[in-house]
Every structure is written in structure tokens, then in C-alpha cells.
Amino acid sequence: AQSVAQPEDQVNVAEGNPLTVKCTYSVSGNPYLFWYVQYPNRGLQFLLKYITGDNLVKGSYGFEAEFNKSQTSFHLKKPSALVSDSALYFCAVRDPNTNAGKSTFGDGTTLTVKP
């Protein structure tokens, strides 16, 4: 079984400050991990993924995420937040042993960046 948790429903940061959106996962083996962003009235957009290799993954729009196997976490980060980063963020996980493409998504975290 695979599952993912986003412990915070909402994250508020000031523009220019660093941001972190948290994600923890549970799979039986090594996970495939993903982050997506959803802007209002839009579909989800792929941000980045971790499959294997370097624990620090860089993605679109200046975002990065760090895979931590011991803590089973994959937190999304950005050094300096922009107001335009305000959106709903989803973490997703897939057990490589499951059918390709069948990822489990978290409940989402709303990020609000204030000017």
C-alpha cells in the first residue's frame, strides 16, 4: 500500500522569505515522489519528481524538494517566495511495484504568500 500525508492544510509566508511545504509518505519499498501545483480554476501542473539519485531535486519555478529516507519525507522548498507562488500544492507518491502511473495524491496544502 502507498500513502502520502501533507500535515498542514495552509502555509502562510511573507514575500521574499523562504517557504517549506511538508510531505511525508509510506510505501513498502523505495518511493517515486512528485510535487504538483494547482492554481485557481486550473488543472494540476507537474513541478518536480524524485525517482533515484541526488536527494535534492530541482524543479520548475525555482522550487526544489529534499528526499529524506530516514524521515520518509519529501518537503517542497523555495529560498525566496513570490506572491505568484500562492496556490494549492499536492504531494504524490507511487510504489514502483504498483501499476505505472497509479500515484496517490495528498490532500493538498494551500500556500499563501503575502506582499
Residues that bind other proteins (CB under 8 A): 32, 34, 36, 41-46, 49, 90, 94, 99-103, 105-108
**Cβ 76 to other proteins shortest distance, Å:** 16
76 beta partners: 21, 65
**Cβ 16 to other proteins shortest distance, Å:** 30
- Residue with Cβ nearer other proteins (1 or 102): 102
C-alpha cell at 60: 520548475
- Residues 87, 3, 104, 35: what is their CA dihedral angle, to the nearest 10 degrees? 40
- Residue with Cβ nearer other proteins (2 or 81): 2
- Residue with Cβ nearer other proteins (46 or 61): 46
Round to whole Å and give the CA distance between 90 and 5: 10
Round to whole Å and give the CA distance between 15 and 32: 31
